[in-house]
Amino acid sequence: MKPQGERTDSCPRCHSRPRGLWVMQPRGPASDVLSFWQLSHWRVLLLIGLVFACTVQGRNNGPLDLDLELEPQHRQQPTHGTWTHWGSWSACSSTCGDGVSFRIRRCIRLPGEEPCQAEARQYRICEQKACPAGTVPFRAMQCALYNSRPILGGQAQYQWVPFHGAANLCDLNCLAMGHNFYYSFGRVLDGTPCSPASPELCISGRCLRAGCDGVLGSEARADACGVCGGRNESCVFVQEAFRVAVPTSGFFGYRNVTQISAGARQIRVIDNSRNYLALMKANQHYVLNGEWAVDQPGAFEAAGTQWHYTRTANGHETLEAAGPTSDDLFVMVLCQEEDLSIDYQYWGPRKQTLHRAQGEAHALRQPQAREVEAQHPEEPADFPEATAATRHFAKAEEVAKEAPQVTPAPLRTPTAPGPCGKCDPPRGKSQRLHHYCNSDFVFRARILSKRYVGSETRYDVQVQQTYRNRYPLRSREYLWVPNTCDCPHLLERREYLLMTRNHVNFEQTLNRLLLQRGGYARPWSPREDLLLRDAALRCQPGPPA
């Protein structure tokens, strides 16, 4: 076969190829296309194989097209700049009352970093001394700056006072005196109250409330314990119901309900009966409904906090306080009817509240260490506790009751009355008043049992009614008499009116009720009750002399 075209040995563009074809390469671009189609079959197959291999490799390692933008597998998050430390607080914006101070910080950004997040300026409330009477409010002072100045290019001049009915509370809206229009002079200065009764302040045209840390706009909040940002871990919630059925024979007077430790918050006491709630300090001074006098409902100050006392038409009462209390307080009830139905709740400091709730042994009820008493089978059941412990410790009380008991030593015969001398109990109005005013505890009690311990006599008594007590008594107490002469003479199963002192020895190891020889101990009667009320009015309030 001969190739097309002329074939001469002297043709400079004619080439010899082994086992191939003679190809005449025309001049120009068309010759390149023609030469491609005239290649041998194996070269075409080799070219197709290379293209296929490159395609597979491109799919595994990424696209070969350089015009397409490479998509990274993990996009890197943009970084933000870093804040410097806060600067110092500025001076307060007000010289009296509430104002604001601020501090700033700067954002340090490297090339390619985003702006810092959060605010560069922080405001807090600064409390100054109270403004003197007649001081012009801050917003009124700003309105007064535009007095006698023309507005909107007019010639009229006005006197301006604050206007609080506009939509935006942080605009300086001022009312023209004697006219029915107001004008907005722009924003108020930072630190201006949003409204007269609002705790919020205007900052950069926004009403912001301060958190418990004092910073405006802060989300920090105090927990029920009063700890800023806390989680109610430093206090416990006490919620109890005081239910007592008073004997039909009569029980009229003051009775202890519970003790509220210092530092208590969110106190709420509700009396659902027709009795009267009373509040007493630790020094035995009543701050509400004391000395047989019922106060009018209203607000009053006690133990460093404000209390709100309400009484409905049907006699139901409510006593509330936000706290915290600065002193221990005792919630009492002045009984006027048989049924007692009182509910109370509060948040108390964990240590003091748990210690009071776990205290099995009362400070005034201390038997000798060498004795463990067994319950007398004929003794009546305990009167319901006046100071109810939190129900969280009921299990601890059950464990204490299951403890083994030791049989008490037999009662010994008292000393012969001869060496004791004559026992002459006090009588008369003057003696009654003297003992009442100089006693730590005046109460009506039932004698349950008697025991001679060394040179003293110990009575187990059931408290029926309290008239005067430095500290609230429990329903069961020990009463000590410093002799074994039965003086004063007290019979078991009988009720007496007792006037005792709080005895603490020098070593501070004993704290007990002590009825001294010659102390006031007379059988209780309605007449004694009436005479004792008269003594209460004549005795000065406060601790005994």
| pLDDT, tens digit only, all 545 positions of the chain | 444 444 444 444 444 444 443 333 444 544 454 454 454 565 667 767 776 665 545 554 444 444 444 445 555 677 889 999 999 999 988 888 888 899 999 999 888 888 998 889 999 988 778 888 888 889 999 999 999 888 877 778 899 999 998 889 999 999 999 998 899 999 999 889 998 888 889 998 899 988 888 888 888 888 888 889 888 888 888 888 888 766 555 556 788 889 898 999 999 999 988 889 999 998 888 999 988 888 999 999 999 999 999 999 888 899 999 989 999 999 998 887 777 889 999 999 887 776 555 443 344 544 433 333 333 433 333 333 333 333 333 433 443 344 334 333 333 444 434 457 777 777 667 778 888 888 888 889 999 999 988 888 999 999 888 888 776 777 888 898 888 888 888 999 999 999 998 887 655 556 788 888 778 888 988 888 888 777 766 776 555 54
| Domain locations in the chain as residue ranges | 97-108+119-209, 235-356, 429-539
Alpha carbons 169 and 201: distance in angstroms, whole number? 10
Is the backbone peptide bond immediately before 526 cis, with ω within 30 degrees of 0? no
Please state which of the four CATH numbers 3.40.50.360, 2.40.50.120, 2.40.50.140, 1.25.40.10 is assigned to the domain occupying 429-539.
Answer: 2.40.50.120
Domain 235-356 in CATH 3.30.390.10? The answer is no
Instruction: Tokens 């809206």: give the residue.
Output: 173
Sign (positive or negative) of CA dihedral 371, 377, 379, 384: positive
Residue type, position 515, single letter? L
Residue type, position 48, single letter? I
* Alpha-helical runs (H) found in 335-420: 350-358, 394-401, 417-420
**Element holding 504 (H helix, E strand):** strand 495-504
